[in-house]
Amino acid sequence: MKKEIAVIGLGRFGGSIVMELHDMDVDVLVIDSDENRVNEYQEFSTEGIIGDSTDEAMLKKIGIDNYDNVIVAIGDNIQASILTTLILKDLGVKKVTSKAQTAHHGRVLEKIGADSVIHPERDMGRRVAHRLVSSSVVEYLEVSHNHSIIEFSANQKFENKQISDLTLREKFGISIIAIKRDHDIIVSPDANTTILDGDILILIGTDEQLGLFEDKMDRLK
């Protein structure tokens, strides 16, 4: 069965979600109070509604509770974002994902029942900061408030060594969960896997452990 998804708010963030879902062949309903925005995304959506998402009667009329997933991508108008999230949960939408503009906004969204709260600007800022601080970190992903995953470009110190020789777990408490090699990915590599030139190591650990590892590796270069 095809997933039914609705996106409310067609700013840059909401708009890019709609385009991505369209590429993935997912049916999307779009809602925005601005007619121009709805028209702009017409070719990427299955249905477009021009309307105020804080209008409960309108959401009820279009049967919003039939959607598996509703994304509230309204940012600047915090009041509208909060009220829309509240109404969607009251109407029985199973999964509401709301975009937070600030940490406080995010906390309110969690309290009123958003199933998932995303902080795109904060997360992007953190990812860029990690890449700036360590030239070997090519990607960064936060998995909990104190655990992250990094993609680390293996330097010469790693080349032709086996994973067991690196003793990353013993020295730093971090684990290699996968290795990207050319266009392949080695998932859960064995301890005797040899690291090659150009390998990208995907590492998981606490932020503190990963920070110590990044510092040490930068000093070794």
Nearer to ligand ATP, 69 or 134 (CB): 69
12 binds ligand ATP (CB under 6 A): yes
* Contact positions with ligand ATP (CB under 6 A) in 75-94: 75-77, 80
Nearest partner of 171 among 221, 131, 133, 217, judged by Cα: 217
Nearer to ligand ATP, 12 or 94 (CB): 12
The residue with tokens 């996106």 is: 7
* Contact positions with ligand ATP (CB under 6 A) in 142-181: none
Nearer to ligand ATP, 76 or 170 (CB): 76
Distance (Å, whole) CA 42 – CA 70: 18
Q: Please, where are the H alpha helices in the chain?
A: 12-23, 35-40, 56-61, 78-90, 103-111, 120-133, 163-166, 168-172, 207-220
Nearer to ligand ATP, 77 or 175 (CB): 77
Q: Which residue is nearest to ligand ATP (CB)?
A: 11
34 binds ligand ATP (CB under 6 A): yes
Longest dimension (CA), the chain: 65
39 alpha carbon, distance to own chain's centre:
27
Q: Which residues bind ligand ATP (CB under 6 A)?
A: 8-14, 31-34, 37, 52-54, 73-77, 80
